[in-house]
Chains A and B, each alone.
Chain A
């Protein structure tokens, strides 16, 4: 018998499924869930979307349940050649599309969870830009449910 995965993992898996089946400007996406995104620069020629369960918070809701917050990071990465607007603007747009998609979204395969906060605190990592000629943007989604 396979045990039911932890709530945060179920949420992360649902996020992966929605990204891969969603209607975005970038097509044929193959987002994957990882605990630690860990790639070689050589592997970054294609757009990579990685979903990482980051944090869980329990806040008291009532005597018997908690307000459960699951924080999920979505990393969008691609090695660029010139790093000009023509190359980067579509990537920034794609990240915004993801942000808009998840805003207040109830996950299709985990309807108890609703996205209550979307942050794009790292619009692009200047470190990865200068050190690897790589676009890395980090979207942080917070899902809430009663548990």
Chain B
């Protein structure tokens, strides 16, 4: 029952709170619905050399990704392109702190939480 509830909630999230993004791996691109899970700023000053990045989490239905041309779990280095008006923001899958680039967002593996960082802005 909880699984059904989670699936219902995931469907509502996809329907009402998501936007289309392009998921890209090398030459393969697919359009998917994604919900923005988190957006914040990260700074790392390892070795005294500071690098900052815009961090963004995308929530994507597990089935949508696996049944697309991508066909496998997310991989480090994959890219997500989010277009806002005339601007396309290019995010790349990367680890956040000690977390790998992605994890399941819920106990029933309905959605994937994909960690990305902004690597390019195309206007």
Q: Which residues of A contact B (CB under 8 A)?
A: 36-42, 44-45, 50, 52, 54, 73, 75, 77, 79, 81-82, 122, 125, 127-128, 130-134, 136, 138
Contact = CB atoms under 8 A, between A and B. Distances in A.
Given A127-B46, A128-B46, A138-B47, A40 B52 contact: yes
Given A38-B52, A41-B52, A41-B53, A79 B119 contact: yes
B120 A42 contact: yes
Interface in B31-49: 42, 44, 46-49
A117 to B, nearest CB: 18
With a 10 A CB-CB cut-off, give which of A38, A39, A42 has the most chain B CB atoms: A42
A46 B3 CA distance: 47
Contacts of A127: 44, 46-47
A125 B49 contact: yes
B52 A122 contact: no
Given A41-B117, A82-B77, A133-B92, A125 B47 contact: yes
Contacts of A81: 77
A94 B95 CA distance: 27
Contacts of B46: 125, 127-128, 136
Given A127-B44, A128-B44, 18 more contacts: A37-B49, A39-B50, A39-B52, A42-B53, A42-B120, A44-B51, A45-B119, A45-B120, A75-B49, A77-B49, A125-B47, A127-B47, A130-B94, A131-B44, A131-B51, A131-B95, A132-B44, A138-B47
Interface of B: 42, 44, 46-54, 76-77, 92, 94-97, 117-121
A130 B120 contact: no
A39 B97 CA distance: 19
A87 to B, nearest CB: 11
Of residues A41, A125, A127, A128, which shows the largest number of chain B Cβ atoms within 10 Å of its Cβ?
A41
A128 B120 contact: no
A127 to B, nearest CB: 4
24 contacts: A37-B48, A37-B50, A38-B52, A39-B50, A39-B51, A40-B51, A40-B52, A40-B53, A41-B118, A50-B49, A54-B48, A77-B51, A81-B77, A82-B77, A125-B46, A128-B44, A128-B47, A132-B51, A132-B94, A133-B92, A133-B94, A134-B51, A136-B46, A136-B49
A44 B117 CA distance: 13
A41 B51 contact: yes
Nearest to B42: A131
